[in-house]
């Protein structure tokens, strides 16, 4: 573990200086130029603090010192700052000394806590690396920064050390959780069967302080979670359901309660409605919703949020096999409604149906949220830049959208009009799982799920298919983003029902 300290004097030799664009940049650069014995005009000419721009200054007047000037761009948003520092660390980590200072003395006090949290979080995540099988390290070129004896020194003015200290501990908590979630989402299908995923959830529960009950196949059969069982039928690995809880039911009257449901398909081949092989390997990330829910539980528990949280995570592997679900099969869901499975690749809505119904059978949360990598359609609609938000509750829409904007995990609302559900009618069952029309599938999927929410007045569905796993500067191929952890945490922290 790296040690992160907050100091108000004597900066270490290596000092990162994150800088925003704006009116004060010129004078901040002039001050740095003077410290480094450089010409101010030249520095102002060469460094514009564009997002992710980095230059290194080697002051000739004090050997061993260096200043890393890191551009943050114009926006003071959390994600912009975190990403700039993460990219800096990712690129420079092999060259950084054991102790890196981060100068925040020039940051506007109003923004200091968030900038501090984002800067530390970015540096910690910049050290992240996924290894399915840890490789032997070449000790001669093991970088110093990031090892046990290394650390980060945050430089603040004496009057801001308290604020910075709490921002640092929050950053450490969130980065620790995010790295665990990265590992889970990046893990290949053979290393995250439902049973392995359940083990990881149980381990997180005991580390962070929430309970995890594993509901295994026999109980699922006895209780009738037939939709979840149907999706898992083609796999050698039995499906299961995780039931999570944090906080107490005997809570204070005003403590809000949240029910979180996450899609946990550990690998989605499509089943008999099999997917093309190109890019099928990315479907190891089809448990991104489940991972976001787990991460939110860990954050809520570790940050001791005054909320009552329950969660249901249906976990299954969607495989083609002699025993697999066939297109056209009719199944009964836990809620009692029957479904004609016209496409076995629309499996997410089936497991969510049982997850939602199971949660609502045992709990009555004030707010009900489900998070899922549900449709290719939401990617065609919003690209890789935002998750789709579906809800009929205006207050919830506003709360979630604001939380997303604040933490940089953008949500964009899409319609949940009844028209989109019309084509889900079946001749042989209450519903079919696919309209058969390649149009507005993200909305028709949301309408399908709505049937299993028992008309909950504060339900929202978040389709994260485009944002849970993607290209970035941090890996060769697509990798986990951790989308949803911060969004859900931020949302729950700020939620207050109007009139409550
Ligand atoms: N897991 C996929 C959705 C997905 C696609 C997630 C791309 C991430 C990236 C989901 O189970 C699926 O296969 N959806 C189908 C639904 C269709 C058959 C109605 C889709 O979107 O094509
Ligand atoms: Mn699918
Ligand atoms: Zn899927």
Mean pLDDT of the residues in the chain: 96
Reported as a single tens digit per residue, the pLDDT across 209-220 is 999 999 999 999
Architecture of domain 3-168: 3-Layer(aba) Sandwich (3.40)
Query: Average pLDDT in the 246-258 region?
Result: 80
- Residue 87 Cβ < 6 Å to ligand 1: no
**C-alpha distances in angstroms, 31 versus 26, 52, 153, 470?**
9, 21, 21, 40
> Beta-carbon neighbour count of residue 441 at 10 Å?
21
Helices (H), 287-393: 288-302, 348-362, 376-382
Q: For 271, left (φ over 0), alpha (ψ -120 to 50), or beta?
A: left
- Residue 463 Cβ < 6 Å to ligand 1: no
Ligand 3: distance of its center to the CA of 271 in Å? 10
Which residues, at least 6 apart from 311, have a Cβ–Cβ distance to it below 8 Å?
Answer: 242, 243, 244, 245, 259, 260, 261, 262, 293, 297, 359
Residue 129 annotated as catalytic: no
pLDDT at 137 over 80: no
Query: Average pLDDT in the 151-171 region?
Result: 97
Banded pLDDT at 249 (limits 50, 70, 90): low
- Residue 373 Cβ < 6 Å to ligand 1: yes
pLDDT at 64 over 60: yes
Banded pLDDT at 143 (limits 50, 70, 90): confident
d(Cα 435, Cα 423) in Å, to the nearest integer? 5
SS3 (DSSP) at 474: coil
Which pLDDT belongs to residue 500? Answer: 45
- Residue 465 Cβ < 6 Å to ligand 1: yes
Provide the percentage of residues in the chain whose pLDDT is more than 70. 97
Ligand 3: distance of its center to the CA of 110 in Å? 42
- Residue 82 Cβ < 6 Å to ligand 1: no
Ligand 1 atom at minimum distance from 377 CA: 21
Which pLDDT belongs to residue 61? Answer: 85
Reported as a single tens digit per residue, the pLDDT across 361-383 is 999 999 999 999 999 999 999 99
Structural domain spans, the chain = 3-168, 178-498
d(Cα 97, Cα 69) in Å, to the nearest integer? 16
Ligand 1 atom at minimum distance from 348 CA: 11
Residue holding tokens 């959208």?
401
SS3 (DSSP) at 49: coil
- Residue 377 Cβ < 6 Å to ligand 1: yes
d(Cα 210, Cα 334) in Å, to the nearest integer? 25
Which pLDDT belongs to residue 141? Answer: 64
Which residues are in the CB-under-5-Å shell of ion ligand 2? 268, 345, 347
Task: For the chain, give the number of residues.
Answer: 500
Banded pLDDT at 252 (limits 50, 70, 90): low
Indicate the pTM of the whole model.
0.97
* Residue among 108, 116, 118 at smallest CA distance from 22: 108
Q: How far is CA 324 from the centre of its chain?
A: 31
* Residue of 86, 170, 284, 349 marked active site: 349
Banded pLDDT at 345 (limits 50, 70, 90): very high
Architecture of domain 178-498: 3-Layer(aba) Sandwich (3.40)
Residue 275 annotated as catalytic: yes
Please tell me the least confidently modeled range out of 245-249, 329-333, 385-389, 481-485: 245-249
pLDDT at 426 over 60: yes
Provide the percentage of residues in the chain whose pLDDT is more than 90. 92
d(Cα 338, Cα 433) in Å, to the nearest integer? 10
Reported as a single tens digit per residue, the pLDDT across 223-232 is 999 999 999 9
DSSP for 184-249? HHHS-GGG--HHHHHHHHHHHHHHHT-EEEEE-HHHHHHHT-HHHHHHHTTSSS--EEEEEEES-S
């Amino acid at each position: 573990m790296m040690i992160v300290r907050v100091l108000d004097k004597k900066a270490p030799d290596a000092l990162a200086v994150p800088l925003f664009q704006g009116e004060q940049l010129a004078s901040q650069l002039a001050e740095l130029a003077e410290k480094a014995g450089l010409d101010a005009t030249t520095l102002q000419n060469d460094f514009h603090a564009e997002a992710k721009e980095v230059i290194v200054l080697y002051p000739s007047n004090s050997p061993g010192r260096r200043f890393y000037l890191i551009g943050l761009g114009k926006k003071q948003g959390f994600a912009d700052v975190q990403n700039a520092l993460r990219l800096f660390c990712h690129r420079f980590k092999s060259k950084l000394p054991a102790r890196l200072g981060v100068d925040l003395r020039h940051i506007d006090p109003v923004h200091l806590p968030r900038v501090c949290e984002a800067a530390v979080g970015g540096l910690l995540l910049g050290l992240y690396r996924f290894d399915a099988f840890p490789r032997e390290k070449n000790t001669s070129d093991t970088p110093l920064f990031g090892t046990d004896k290394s650390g980060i020194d945050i430089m603040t003015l004496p009057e801001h050390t308290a604020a910075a200290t709490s921002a640092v501990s929050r950053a450490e908590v969130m980065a620790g959780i995010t790295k665990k979630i990265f590992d889970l989402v990046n893990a290949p299908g053979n290393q995250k069967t439902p049973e392995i995923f359940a083990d990881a959830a149980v381990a997180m529960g005991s580390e962070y302080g929430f309970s995890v009950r594993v509901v295994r196949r026999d109980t699922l059969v006895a209780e009738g979670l037939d939709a979840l069982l149907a999706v898992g039928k083609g796999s050698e690995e039995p499906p299961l359901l995780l039931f999570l809880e944090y906080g107490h039911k005997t809570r204070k009257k005003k403590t809000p309660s949240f029910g979180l449901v996450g899609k946990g398909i550990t690998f989605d081949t499509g089943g008999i409605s099999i997917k093309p092989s190109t890019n099928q390997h990315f479907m190891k990330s089809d448990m991104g919703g489940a991972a976001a829910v787990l991460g939110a539980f860990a954050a809520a528990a570790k940050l001791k949020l005054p909320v009552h949280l329950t969660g249901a995570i249906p976990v299954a592997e969607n495989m083609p096999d002699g025993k697999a679900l066939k297109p056209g099969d009719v199944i009964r869901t836990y809620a009692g409604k029957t479904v004609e499975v016209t496409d076995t690749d629309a499996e997410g809505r089936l497991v969510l149906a049982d997850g939602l119904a199971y949660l609502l059978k045992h709990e009555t949360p004030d707010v009900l949220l489900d998070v899922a990598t549900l449709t290719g359609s939401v990617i065609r609609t919003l690209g890789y830049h935002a998750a789709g938000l579906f809800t009929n509750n205006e207050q919830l829409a506003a709360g979630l959208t604001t939380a997303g904007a604040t933490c940089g995990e953008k949500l964009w609302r899409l319609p949940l009009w009844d028209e989109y559900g019309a084509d889900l009618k079946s001749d042989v069952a209450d519903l079919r799982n696919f309209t058969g029309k390649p149009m507005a599938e993200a909305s028709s999927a949301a309408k399908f799920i709505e049937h299993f929410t028992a008309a909950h007045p504060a339900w929202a569905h978040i389709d994260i298919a485009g944002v849970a796993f993607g290209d970035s500067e941090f890996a060769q191929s697509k990798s986990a983003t951790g989308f949803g952890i911060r969004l859900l945490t931020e949302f729950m922290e700020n939620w207050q029902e109007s009139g409550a």
